Structure 1
Amino acid sequence: MELSSAETKSVASMSSRGSKTSSASRVAAASHAKVEAANAQTEYAKLESETMVEKARVEARLNTLQHEKEVAAAIAEASVLETIAVESEKGDGESISNEAVERTHQYVHHQFQLLSAAEDRLIEPTIPQKPGQIRVVFDSSAKCQGVSLNDMLLSGPNLINNLLGVLIQFRYNPADIAFLGEYTTTMSSVAKAINILQGESNIQMGWLLPTITSLIAKLEKTRVSLQFCKPLVDVLQDGLKIRFGEMMSDPELVAAAILNPKFKTSWTSDEDVLKLGLSYIKEHLPDHDEALLQPADKSSSASDEDDFFSNMKHVHTQNTTKQLDAYLMCTAEDVEVPQPDLSLLYERLLLAEQRGETLSHELLLVLHNLQNLTITGNNLTSSNVTGGWNERGSISRILSPKPSAIQYLPHLGQHPDSLKAFVHLGQGRTGVSLVFGVPTVRRQKQSYLLNTLGSLLFDLSSSEKNDIVIIVFIAETDTAFVNNVVESIQKNFPDHVQSGLIEVVSPSPYFYPNFTDLKETFGDSKERVKWRTKQNLDYSFLMLYAQSKGTFYVQLEDDIVAKQGYSQTMKTYATGILSEEWLFLEFSKLGFIGKLFRASDLPMVVEFFLMFHKDKPIDWLLDHILWVKVCNPERDAKHCQSEKNKLKRTYKPSLFQHVGLHSSLHGKIQNLKDKDFGKQKLFTGYVNPAASINSTLQPYKEHTLTRAYQGQDFFWGLTPKAGDYIHIQFTTPQTIKSYLFRSGNIETNGDKFYNTTVEVLPLRSSVKESVRRGQFPCCQPSSNGFIIIGSFVNGVAEGEVKSELGELIAMRLVIHSDSDVWVLLSEISIKV
């Protein structure tokens, strides 16, 4: 679109006016900016001046503070030096050189805190600054040899918690305290009875029956108020009745009690017993006798006795003899009449009194056995025992059959000796911590029993040997076989048999039932069913015999080896969890090997085994006991297994390994191995002097003498004969200080050297001549110039070599008799 000329002029005029107005505005703004800039510059100059003043004032203050600190430090340093000088003069300190400072010292860390007045007010307002004094603060975070006080203090609570946890394990709970109280109350009467019967003044037989009668009455009275110890009272009463039951109606003993002025007829209310005693007295007392007994002894203290017999009431029985009437009517203190002529009665009573020590000993034996009996409410298989000698000369013990045992094994009631244990070897050891049961039977191929016993005995310390007993149960009734096993054990372990460490027992021929009527179950043959049923009975018999001997019972088999240190390991583990709830501890995962029970639990376990002895193998029955105790039928199998594991504690690594290849079941090969057992240390190597070795013994595979002498292996040789030897020829003559030859090892302990001498060949001929003349008591001459300096004892030969023998050319081991086992050398040490 195009504009007209008038419109063009109008636009030009408007543009000229706008241009003039814009220029005026710009001039005004520039003028104002200049004014503002001048004002800002003035303010900045003023602020900078004030800042310089403040900065100068702050610097002056800082200089003042620094000067004060330097002065304080100088004063403190002078004070410290003065203090050190004073302490040195007192002898409480000493100066050391700069060189000594560089060495390691044990010292207490301190820190000198030197604070100015201002810092003191700001940092430590509660501690006033004292001129001329310093404050020393222990630096508990400073370390000496990598340890500070804080490190020790901070670990304290954790250590205390651990200690508290251990102590709580042994804390008595209310039930324990109540049991101890009841036990003390119960046994106090027993203790008083023993004190009375063993007293120096009460040695007449007239004290026996009143004491036993009063003890039984007190136990019965105590039983009413008991909660935990009723089974203990029952066992005590049963034991007293077994030992003294027949004596309660013995006319001589009854007469002796009546003729004791302390009791007369007050000790029993049984009229028949009193008539028996009075009739015996009348029969032996003529009418003209003026007195009946010796005067009462008023000198002895009777406080405890009066208290013990306080339950007796004096009841005077009428009789036809005037002397008896007079005697029975008077008190004990009034009986001071002359001694009568009672020669016949005196002789009879004297014979009876001679039985006193025997009876007292039997009472102590009862109480000793009772200490080891089970204290359970429903103990149906408690092993009350009596002792005697059987026709073969071996000690016998009777395991009293209870109604439940006869119910499960009715044939036991057909013969009184059905539960008799024939003790062939042993000393009747009791009161030990661990009792090991080793049942053994006739094997068709090979017997492992001696190796098993050797392994169990291999590294036991003296204290361990005194705190265990190993019971070998020969589960056979063949007399010839039993005697052979007994003789073999006696021959190989005479010291351990003599000490009581090893016992050997066998069952009565009437113990086993008729096995012909057994049912075949679980696909087992008739022979296998018989084998497993007999095994159930064997283990049950062995457990009943062993239950009173110790705190823990361990079931083993006759074809195992033990790990070194097994005894102490088991004892430590079992006692550490004694207060916890468990039925048995498992020290091997194979079958019934290495199962440890509390002895107090054995009666219950045995009763369960007897109840189902015909039905299942014994290891299955043991698992069923756990199921019965803790498994809920309404819960799943996983929950059941979890609960069973609480009653069955497994220790790893296993302490026992199964080694028998041929099972006691004829024809069965048993390739069972416990994978958790690990490897055994079968030999110990030593550095020996250079030598060449030769022998007439044939080595087994790679187990050579050279490797054993060099400490690389053990030597294993075939059966030796008389005249066999091992010859060690030194490369150069040696002065020997000592020697050690150990035969057997933890797995093959029976392969030992027997009747074998250690001999040396001296370099100097004069030494040989001196020995031949008997000038060296330590040595004896042998053949070819050799000298006997020692021999093997229990498989070990060790000793020192006398320096008088001088340098030696050779050593040798000489076997003097045939052996029926191989030989193994696990240690050869010759020290020069």
Structure 2
Amino acid sequence: MEYGLSGTDTCLSRFQGKHPMLGIMRWSFRHYTIILAGSGLLWFFISLGTPKINEDIYLLETKRSLDQKFSSKSEEYLQWSSYNVPSRVSHLTYQYLAGALPLEKKTLTVGLSSMQSPTGKYLMSTLRSVFKVSSNYELRHITVLVHLADPDPYWLNETVSIIISLFTPQILRGQLIVIHAPSAAYQHLWSQPHIVFNFSDVKTFRSKQMLDYAFLMSFAANLSDYFLMIKDDIRCTPNFVTIIQQELEARKDKPWTIMESANRGLAGKLCHSMDLPKLAGFLLLFYKDESPDMLLLHFRILQGQKDPIHLSPFLFYHFDRSSSYFPNNSHTCEEPDNEKFQEDSSDIPDNPPAVVYTDMQTLQNHLPQNAYSLDETFFLTPNALPGHQLTVILDEGVNVIRVQVLTGTPIEKLQSLEEGKVELGSNPAGQSKHCTKYTFLGQLWDGQLDCRLKHRQTGHNVSCVRLLVTSPRDNSWVMVRHINIWVNHEE
């Protein structure tokens, strides 16, 4: 028995015969539906695999670099059940040089470490600043803890005598304690004779400084609820203690590991005192490997705090740092705090007309010229090797009075060029006007430099400013945010 078309099919077939466009419309609708769905899926998978902006690329590279550098060693340490620093630290007997333990636990310990160094000459000014800007009410809730981290007995005796003479009331009220970690604490950790310390070796100075702070933190673990790290060369904003207490109150129900000011390194970092043994041990494990910024960043992330929490407004400012790091130079190099640079917005660099040359690998959207522009663009390179340079070649010779170089991200200092130097060039030659003679200006400090030229002759008729890579980390991204030049227009 043959089966024919049903009534409905017969009508539809006849209708299509009279109206052929219906079949085309039905096919077109299916076709475009498939195309749209496929396009949507393609966009979805592309968006998953591609960073939204080019800046994501080096952030991903940084995270990968951190993971490779610290690998399982840091994870294993932070997951250690006792969370204690090594036994050689937890059982140390510290020497009390002035003051004594407070009778009751305070809210905040303000801790700093100091030794014979170009920064150490500001120690008394730093202590005076802490006590001067704090009210009597604020002082009742804090303890200032100073670790004199130098084995030289003459320096120790002289420094303690000065502290006692200047701050006797604070010592008697239990607001100031001065301690000294014995030389045994540094055994098997520090082999360089400290008395002949070379302060121009930035990496070595930084490593010693992290050891000093590790011992400071170990001592401070039970003094208060919170611990604030500062340095021996800063001045404090008035009522900074109250500002910190307000920040703590605002976040009392939210988890956090580190709050921070805009200062680099260990200065301006606030943490829970209960985390100090763990953080001290972390510094002892990696003090030779990385800068304080990178160690604190990695510690914070491992503790579960992904994003930085900033203390506002800016609380600490550095005194000018002398050129005693580099003797026989006719200029003064300061530590270029970003907050100082942003605070004085009227001090805009001149940056006269110039071209920028580099032999480093360049990226399409982050060209060398960006480092010299006055906007927020920057130069970014995936790898910088010893001998590589970024050179500003001026159209005409100028009289330079100040040079500033800022590398790395503004807050966490990721992609900083930590070991490099800046030079001033003269005697331009050839079609490209490259300079044939260079004079050393200053060494980068944690990837940054700010030099004011004291004598006119040093900055006279400058034709080039060169940033030279000396010893970077291998296979690491480097960002140069600004090369700024100020010119004397009166000559």
If the length of structure 1 is used for normalisation, what is the TM-score? 0.29
If the length of structure 2 is used for normalisation, what is the TM-score? 0.47
Q: Tell which structure's C-alpha radius of gyration is larger.
A: 1
- Write 1 or 2 for the structure with the bigger share of strand: 2
